[in-house]
């Protein structure tokens, strides 16, 4: 059945499935923050992220798929990815799932704003307007001045910045490393980061139920990233990237069912502005590449 689908349809299916898995494991991560600190979550989850990677290496029949042509850049990207994971976990610990993700989705907008000084790219006035709209949406989500709780919104805001820096490093990598190689080093550094935190912040041994949740979360992390990468291999970014924003729909549904989270109208409007700004920037970038 899948063979009859066009590449665009295959890419869309992979992106939809990948974002669903990623958002589901985000929800598991948020659930675990009530009993485990960020380092423990990285460590226990990280152990199980290698199961799909090992299976794919065995299927490939060679360790060559894990080689990298630029170890320095790959490790730097992995360090940024590990730091991102820490702040993602902290975001989920203090904020509703959908709210945290909506702010983290500012990263494509930040990437546009930083592309001139850091990448030397040209950004037209239309994309600058989209950047402004995106940041206005962020202010509606955060609503500064509504009590001290708004300070927690700085955590996902910094997370979005880390995602932006990671993507900038990725754009600068010209080694042609495989997606499996990039994923392996990212997961390995995240595991080491989690392990390093245990002597400092302590360790709680998970019970059997929590261990199953960590296993599910770890496997979902790897599979979701591989599906998202595969989606981009099947089809252009303009075709599949919009489906990433389904994460907000998934997160809103899970947040309501599990935690009873109901965002107010201004937060919904702010999230919509962030999504529309991100989609418009994507549209302009793809149009610029086509000319």
- For residue 35, the 8-state DSSP code is T
pLDDT in tens, 159-203: 999 999 988 887 776 556 777 888 899 999 999 999 999 999 999
Torsion sign (Cα): 30, 36, 39, 45: negative
Q: Return the residue matching tokens 């805001």.
A: 157
pLDDT in tens, 84-109: 999 999 999 999 999 999 999 999 88
Cβ pair 252, 83 in contact under 8 A? no
What is the distance between the alpha carbons of residues 163 and 83, in angstroms, rounded to a whole number? 9
Cβ pair 188, 49 in contact under 8 A? no
Cβ pair 248, 275 in contact under 8 A? yes
pTM of the model: 0.90
Using pLDDT thresholds of 50, 70 and 90, give the confidence band for residue 149. Answer: confident
Cβ pair 73, 101 in contact under 8 A? no
Which residues form the domain of 254?
Answer: 2-290
Domain count, the chain: 1
């Amino acid at each position: 059945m899948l063979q009859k689908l066009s590449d665009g349809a295959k890419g869309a299916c992979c992106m939809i499935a990948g974002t669903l898995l990623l958002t589901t494991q985000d929800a598991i991560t948020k659930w675990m923050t009530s009993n485990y600190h960020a380092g423990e979550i990285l460590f226990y989850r990280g152990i199980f992220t290698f199961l799909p990677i090992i299976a794919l290496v065995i299927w490939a029949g060679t360790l060559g798929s894990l080689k990298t042509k630029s170890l320095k850049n790959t490790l730097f990207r992995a360090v940024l990815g590990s730091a991102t994971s820490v702040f993602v976990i902290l975001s989920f610990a203090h904020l509703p799932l959908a709210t945290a993700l909506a702010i983290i989705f500012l990263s494509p907008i930040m990437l546009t704003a930083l592309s001139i000084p850091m990448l030397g790219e040209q950004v037209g006035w239309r994309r600058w307007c989209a950047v402004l709209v995106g940041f206005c949406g962020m202010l509606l989500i955060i609503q500064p001045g509504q009590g001290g709780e708004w300070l927690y919104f700085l955590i996902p805001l910094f997370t979005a910045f880390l995602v932006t820096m990671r993507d900038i490093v990725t754009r600068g990598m010209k080694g042609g490393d495989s997606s499996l190689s990039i994923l392996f080093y990212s997961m390995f550094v995240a595991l080491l980061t989690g392990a390093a935190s245990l002597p400092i912040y302590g360790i709680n041994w998970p019970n059997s139920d929590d261990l199953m949740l960590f296993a599910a979360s770890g496997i979902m992390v790897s599979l979701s990233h591989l599906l998202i990468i595969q989606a981009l291999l099947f089809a252009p970014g303009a075709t599949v990237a919009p489906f990433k924003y389904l994460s907000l729909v998934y997160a809103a549904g899970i947040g309501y069912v599990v935690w009873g989270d109901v965002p107010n109208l201004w937060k919904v409007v702010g999230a919509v502005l962030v999504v529309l700004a991100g989609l418009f920037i994507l549209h302009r970038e793809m149009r610029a590449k086509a000319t």
